[in-house]
Amino acid sequence: MRRLLALLGVLAGCVAAAGCGGSDAEGGPTVVAAFYPLAWAAEGIAGDRYRVVDLTPPGAEPHDVELSPRDVEAIRDADLVVYAGGGFQPAVEDAVADRDGASLDVVYGARDPHVWLDPVRFAATARALGDALDRPAAGRRLARAIDALDGEYAKGLRSCERRTLVSSHAAFGHLAARYGLRARSLAGTSPEAEPGPRELERLVDDVRRAGVTTVFTEPLVSDRLAATVAREAGVEVATLDPIEGLSEERIEAGEDYFTVMRENLDALRTALGCR
């Protein structure tokens, strides 16, 4: 973490310095964010100083996003690009590697790219993003709100009958590690990876042995695998959102990172039998 903060100090100076980034066609400085939670944080911190561009359309699965020439140009010319490395979106990583301006990889070298699902890690990202945008006070304000969410999770998951969560893909490792849970997944870090028949039998056996009551699916991908495993294992299916993207309808209804994280906490408490 110390190395991260040192690196971001350099990035912050780079963003503030003349000629370090670019401006969009409308004449204002631009932040390009790779997908929803990063765009949400950037918008909350940037205020009216920057235009924030989300590369992933509302309701789209970020793993599936293909960059258009215009997207590549936006990445090249942005004052700051905020993205998740580690193979989460290889096309974005390739475009970032070809640019000269400041870029912030929120994964910081972690094997699991879903760092925003751990409030402590995401609060650190908010502070770092505030420094990089020369808005440290705004970054700290958002970080305090996310830190409060960490308190809600710590309290809500402290006393539970079960400690294992099974999800459709490996998105919840950081969250589980933070709150003393065990995370198992039916697929890898990409939700499109599905097992063959023998692997499916093994997954059903694993779910039975784990003693769980619920297999979690997610909003942006098919629930076919989770529903099949749950049916064969004799357990329930519920939704646990990795918050990789929200649909326009959900955004218009007032949902955001905080509301979905609290919905996730409620779902976990029910599935794990928390008191």
Q: Per-residue pLDDT for the chain (275 aa), expressed as one digit of tens each?
A: 444 434 444 343 333 333 333 444 455 899 999 999 999 999 999 999 999 999 999 999 998 889 999 999 999 999 999 999 989 999 999 999 999 999 999 998 888 999 999 999 999 999 999 999 999 999 999 999 999 999 999 999 999 999 999 998 899 999 999 999 999 998 764 555 667 788 888 889 999 999 999 999 999 888 888 999 999 999 999 999 999 999 999 999 999 999 999 999 999 999 999 99
Q: Which of 153, 174, 200 is the last residue of a domain?
A: 153
28 touches 50 (CB < 8 A): yes
- Which of 126, 153, 180 terminates a domain? The answer is 153
Per-residue pLDDT, 57: 94
Same domain, 178 and 268: yes
Number of domains in the chain: 2
Residues 6+ apart with CB under 8 A from 236: 213, 214, 215, 230, 271
Residue 239 parent element (H or E): strand 236-239
Q: Which range marks the domain in which residue 235 is found?
A: 159-272
In a shared domain, residues 106 and 209 = no
pLDDT the model gives residue 193: 60
Residues 231, 198 share a domain: yes
Report pLDDT for 46.
96
Whether pTM exceeds 0.85: yes
- 149 and 252 assigned to the same domain: no
Q: Are residues 6 and 136 in the same domain?
A: yes
Q: Is 51 within 8 Å of 26 (Cβ atoms)?
A: yes
Alpha helices by DSSP H, listed for the chain, are 2-16, 36-46, 69-77, 90-97, 119-132, 136-156, 173-178, 197-210, 224-233, 248-252, 257-272
> CA-to-CA distance for 245 and 112, rounded, in angstroms?
17
- Do 139 and 168 reside in the same domain of the chain? no
* Same domain? 134 vs 214: no
What whole-number distance in Å separates Cα of residue 1 and Cα of residue 44? 23
Chosen domain end from 153, 169, 202: 153
The enclosing domain of 208 has a CATH number of: 3.40.50.1980
